[in-house]
């Protein structure tokens, strides 16, 4: 959630589309290609689910045994124009006939748990990066030197964050241990177990479709436990006071160049308007500038460079 990535794509112009067995073709705007689609046939309502609604029985919904290979966006709004509408009844779906045929708008119960307030939603926004803008942004980031008179003062929250880090930092079995910088002492978190379970169910479905993904994910979790970065919750801690527990959902993404699986622990996932990140103080920006690093690099005769494996997993929370 809240993630962005840059990918290499091809541009297709002049692509035309029509309804099944149709004679009228419509030209699409510029189409971009990508390796994987953010949706699959699992997101399409099943025939079994559709058969529950008798008022839709007279509509012919063709079934195509193929994957999802094209997404038509809102920039082709003419193709979405409704010519005919079959209104919903009760909590059922409704159907729309457009240039491309009939479309059913519904929510599959297997994938959405509205009672617990955690529907499964896929949102993708695509933009085209301009080379000039990327270069300017990179230069501004790399060469952001400021004089001492230009240095911004820290806010009260940033100073409080540093105070918590200074007073709580300790070395435990070769690892730093730090207290989580909560904004307040009286913390009450809603029980978000339904969000975590929803994410797990989604992962299980993806595991069944992609055996390699399942294997890599399992290896990551096994290594995390064997390395001491994670542990099973002790039996005596399974029962916690109300408002004092928070489940962190996680998912896997692949590095676009290395094709290496990275498991992301989603601390920004919200439940009832609350997330773990929203309850934590944000520290000041302590990133060293490129110019400063290069100057210090030339101060001594020998320079050393090191990389810490699983750096963020090495720090323990208290």
Instruction: Determine, yes or no, domain membership for 205.
Output: yes
pLDDT number for residue 208: 93
pLDDT number for residue 116: 47
Instruction: Determine, yes or no, domain membership for 311.
Output: yes
Where is the domain boundary, 67, 87, 116?
116
pLDDT number for residue 84: 87
pLDDT number for residue 165: 92
What is the rounded CA–CA span in Å between residue 246 and residue 276?
Answer: 8
CA angle 155, 158, 159 (to 5 degrees): 85
The reply to whether 112 and 173 lie within a common domain is: no
pLDDT number for residue 115: 47
What confidence tens digit (pLDDT) does each residue in 65-79 have?
777 778 787 788 888
The reply to whether 110 and 143 lie within a common domain is: no
pLDDT number for residue 136: 67
What is the rounded CA–CA span in Å between residue 44 and residue 40?
Answer: 8
Question: Domain range holding 264?
Answer: 136-317
Instruction: Determine, yes or no, domain membership for 148.
Output: yes
Contact 264, 253 (CB under 8 A): yes
Distance from CA of residue 192 to its chain's centroid? 17
Mean pLDDT, contiguous 10-residue spans, the chain (318 residues)? 63 79 77 76 75 82 77 80 85 84 70 48 57 65 53 83 92 88 88 91 92 94 90 86 91 80 89 91 85 86 84 82
What is the rounded CA–CA span in Å between residue 95 and residue 25?
Answer: 22
Where is the domain boundary, 86, 116, 146?
116
The reply to whether 189 and 101 lie within a common domain is: no
Instruction: Determine, yes or no, domain membership for 5.
Output: no
The reply to whether 146 and 258 lie within a common domain is: yes
The reply to whether 146 and 276 lie within a common domain is: yes
The reply to whether 310 and 225 lie within a common domain is: yes
Instruction: Determine, yes or no, domain membership for 88.
Output: yes
Q: How many domains does the chain have?
A: 2
């Amino acid at each position: 959630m809240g993630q962005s990535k840059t990918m290499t794509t091809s541009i297709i112009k002049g692509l035309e589309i029509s309804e099944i067995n149709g004679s009228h073709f419509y030209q699409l705007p510029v189409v971009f290609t990508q390796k994987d689609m953010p949706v699959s046939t699992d997101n399409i309502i099943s025939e079994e689910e559709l058969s529950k609604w008798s008022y839709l029985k007279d509509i012919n919904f063709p079934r195509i045994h193929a994957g999802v290979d094209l997404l038509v966006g809102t920039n082709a709004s003419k193709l979405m124009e409704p010519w005919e509408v079959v209104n919903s009844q009760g909590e059922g779906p409704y159907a729309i006939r457009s240039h491309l045929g009939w479309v059913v708008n519904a929510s599959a119960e297997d994938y959405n748990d509205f009672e617990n307030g955690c529907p499964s939603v896929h949102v993708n926004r695509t933009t085209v990066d301009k080379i000039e803008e990327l270069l300017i942004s990179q230069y501004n980031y790399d060469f952001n030197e400021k004089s001492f008179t230009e240095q911004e003062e820290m806010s009260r929250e940033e100073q409080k964050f540093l105070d918590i880090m200074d007073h709580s930092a300790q070395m435990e079995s070769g690892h730093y241990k730090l207290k989580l910088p909560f904004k307040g002492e009286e913390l009450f978190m809603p029980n978000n177990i339904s969000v975590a379970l929803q994410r797990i169910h989604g992962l299980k479905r993806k595991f069944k479709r992609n055996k390699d993904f399942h294997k890599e994910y399992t290896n990551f979790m096994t290594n995390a436990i064997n390395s001491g970065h994670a542990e099973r919750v002790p039996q005596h801690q399974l029962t916690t006071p109300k408002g004092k527990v928070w489940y962190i959902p996680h998912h896997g993404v692949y590095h676009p160049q290395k094709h290496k699986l990275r498991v992301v622990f989603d601390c920004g996932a919200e439940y009832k308007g609350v997330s773990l990140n929203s309850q934590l103080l944000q520290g000041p920006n302590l990133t060293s500038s490129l110019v400063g690093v290069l100057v210090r690099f030339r101060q001594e005769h020998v320079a050393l460079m090191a990389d810490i494996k699983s750096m963020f997993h090495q720090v323990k929370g208290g």
